[in-house]
Amino acid sequence: MKRKSDIQTIASIPQLMRELRLPAPVHPLIALVDYDKVPVEMLAKDQKITIDFYKISFKPRFRGQTKYGQAYYDFEEGGLAFLKPKQVVFTPEEADDYTGFALYFHPDFIRHYPLGNAINHYGFFSYQVSEALFLSAREKEEITNLLNAIAQELDKQLDHFSQDILVSHIELLLNYSKRFYHRQFLTRKSVNHGIITSLELLLDNYFNEDTGLKNGLPSVQHISAQLRLSQRYMSDMLKSLTGMNTQQYIQHMLIEKVKEKLSSTNLSVSDIAYGLGFEHPQSFSKLFKAKTKQSPLEFRVSFN
């Protein structure tokens, strides 16, 4: 028997369907699972699992929380969560937590389509589950209609057009999800602005405490880890609200700190550069001039 500490790998969609005691998929590279039809005894509980294909989970209604890594996602209002191949997740601790639908598709299913390359641009496949998409009633209806269209196509006899149609449905589903995420960034401004405030405080402390002398420039990975956000979610959220991704926002805060030091201290340009985490003052001066159209010394002179 597999221990919970072990990671169970599901390499194919037919293997997944066997694990769930469901009929073999019509197409070996795609399946839509209604978890209300899965026998309860077939559902693993609190097991680490990794799958070699994409998964889009849709829960129109839910009571409880689903564990994902070390975090929990509250699906009480219903929503969408996205999983890319090779990510490790925990199955729910309670069988009753399995509700709704899950669309599974293998990378090979879209490989020879434009979506095969474009799917990496849908950043929500790299989000944490706590950053999943919460849906309004109207949005749930639109997602339900898309999943029904996929289900209807999978129920038909496969022909030369089946894969083209299914891939187009998947792409439409992803584009709607992208639209809904943009809406979520805007409608949750109070929460997101709180994240931005925390980000600014974190960077301000980083620069004021000369942490850069020891650790170098603050990285996107470090900042996202401190804020307990996925790198992609933070970058997409900032882009939506400020027009800058995380790296650009860090540079923006860095330049503002440099301006403060140039205008209020007698520190040399080299000392400022080293204190903020630059290994080479030349790189510091080049970045500053690219952002302000002035060298650090020119800014100091003009300010004074």
Cα angle 111, 126, 43; round to 5: 85
Residue that is last in its domain, among 144, 168, 186: 186
What is the spatial order of strands in the sheet that 133-134 belongs to?
30-34, 101-105, 54-59, 79-83, 133-134
**Per-residue pLDDT for 75 more than 50?**
no
Q: What is the pLDDT of residue 241?
A: 84
**Per-residue pLDDT for 52 more than 90?**
yes
Q: Are residues 139 and 194 in the same domain?
A: no
**Per-residue pLDDT for 68 more than 50?**
no
Average pLDDT over every residue of 288-300: 90
Q: Are residues 117 and 208 in the same domain?
A: no
> Does residue 1 belong to any structural domain of this protein?
no
**Per-residue pLDDT for 247 more than 60?**
yes
Identify the domain containing residue 235 by its residue range: 190-303
Q: Give the position of tokens 């309860």.
A: 40
How far apart, in whole angstroms, are the C-alpha atoms of residue 65 and residue 73? 5
**pLDDT band (50, 70, 90) for residue 2:** very low
CB 102 within 8 A of CB 58: yes
Q: What is the pLDDT of residue 96?
A: 52
**Per-residue pLDDT for 149 more than 90?**
yes
CB-based burial label for 237 (10 Å; 0-12, 13-18, 19+)? buried
**Per-residue pLDDT for 18 more than 80?**
yes
Q: Are residues 211 and 168 in the same domain?
A: no
**Per-residue pLDDT for 65 more than 90?**
no
Q: Is 140 left (phi over 0), alpha (psi -120 to 50) or beta?
A: alpha
At 14 the three-state DSSP class reads helix
Q: What is the pLDDT of residue 285?
A: 92
> Does residue 92 belong to any structural domain of this protein?
yes
Query: What CATH number is given to the structural domain containing 39?
Result: 2.60.120.280
Contacts for 1 with CB less than 8 Å, ≥ 6 apart: none
Q: Are residues 112 and 154 in the same domain?
A: yes
Average pLDDT over every residue of 278-293: 90
> Does residue 176 belong to any structural domain of this protein?
yes
Q: Are residues 151 and 252 in the same domain?
A: no
**Per-residue pLDDT for 143 more than 90?**
yes
Q: Work out the number of other CB atoms within 10 angstroms of the CB of residue 216.
A: 13
Q: Mean pLDDT across the chain, nearest whole number?
A: 84
Whether pTM > 0.85 for this model: the answer is no
Q: What is the pLDDT of residue 77?
A: 61
Q: Are residues 158 and 252 in the same domain?
A: no
> Does residue 19 belong to any structural domain of this protein?
yes
Q: Are residues 219 and 182 in the same domain?
A: no
Residue that is last in its domain, among 186, 219, 248: 186
Q: What is the pLDDT of residue 72?
A: 46
> Does residue 88 belong to any structural domain of this protein?
yes
Q: Are residues 200 and 170 in the same domain?
A: no
The alpha helices in the chain, defined as continuous H runs, are 13-19, 107-110, 114-118, 137-155, 162-187, 189-208, 212-215, 220-227, 231-242, 246-264, 269-276, 281-292, 296-303
Query: What CATH number is given to the structural domain containing 227?
Result: 1.10.10.60
**pLDDT band (50, 70, 90) for residue 27:** very high
Q: Are residues 11 and 54 in the same domain?
A: yes
Q: Are residues 39 and 138 in the same domain?
A: yes
> Does residue 2 belong to any structural domain of this protein?
no
Q: What is the pLDDT of residue 1?
A: 37
Higher pLDDT: 132 or 282? It is: 282
How far apart, in whole angstroms, are the C-alpha atoms of residue 175 and residue 133? 13
**pLDDT band (50, 70, 90) for residue 45:** low
Average pLDDT over every residue of 187-212: 80
Q: Are residues 167 and 202 in the same domain?
A: no
How far apart, in whole angstroms, are the C-alpha atoms of residue 229 and residue 280? 30
Q: Are residues 175 and 265 in the same domain?
A: no
Tokens at 266, concatenated: 């007698």
Average pLDDT over every residue of 68-93: 66
Query: How many structural domains does the chain have?
Result: 2
> Does residue 130 belong to any structural domain of this protein?
yes
**Tens of pLDDT, residues 91-108:** 654 545 567 899 999 999
Residue that is last in its domain, among 152, 167, 186: 186
